[in-house]
Structure 1
Amino acid sequence: MNNSFLTQQLDLGTKIASQRKALGVRAQSAARSAGISRVTLHRIEKGETSVSLGAYLQVCHALGLHLGILAADEGQPTNQLTPEGTRIRIGDYSQLTALAWQLDVNTLITDEQARGIYERNKRFLDMQQIDSHERALMQRLIAEKGMENLLV
């Protein structure tokens, strides 16, 4: 393998670790959510080449990360943050709290991260428990971020 590939894999591992830590997710919880062992997650975060691409993708999906080629297909830059100050407190929304059970209720996330949580876990949404405040958030995310697959 050439050095460029190894550097990119190490960078990917570093970005995965940074995202997990920024979200305040413990390694054990992230691994369980991705369907891999904690040891495999540790190896991924170190950028080891012996870990399968599928395991890397599972962790990226669990943490709401997208590879650049996927983001380019969607017309969105990878890991685009909303303007400073636009943050959502997980505990302010009952269904978001239930879907992001591994995160502290005081965790602040971006619109993009909230959209990812709703979309990845839409099968677990309890539509009867969505209050008007959370419904307004979801409708705003649909309008601004393209959550067309969520029917609210």
Structure 2
Amino acid sequence: MPARAPIPDLAAVARLGTLGLDIRARRKALGVSAQAAAAAAGMSRVTWHRIEGGEPSVTMGAYLNALGALGLEIQVGDVAAAPAGVEAPPVPQRIRLADYPQLKRLAWHAPGLTELTPAEALGLYERNWRHLDREALDPKERALLDALTQQEAGGRLLV
């Protein structure tokens, strides 16, 4: 009987989700159909779709084939070490919803709400992760989410 696959931690699932979105964005930027990309990577369109969805059950080899088909590669680095001279931007004490469209969209249930504390914002992202349009995250909001994860959750996004 084959061994069971390990259960990935939530941070790994989030990174795979981001990797899948990056693969999809690259494919679309190149103007390549999912069918053609899958064929170039030597896999089915269904497996390609699962990779773009960031599914952890897809083999690492399949992810690497997908990256190679698009002219991309993956690099290994120390997640604890920030690049020299680069610091995470400070998280504001009050986060204005108007400045972060995806966060504002997640706060639909609270009309009239205009600001959140960092802990409230991170909690809203985490609780509603499945509703977040990660492709629509602009760089400013992605940086906020990364900074919130570092400051409020010790680098581990609970999704």
TM-score normalised to the size of structure 2?
0.43
Structure richer in helix, relative to its length: 1
TM-score normalised to the size of structure 1?
0.45
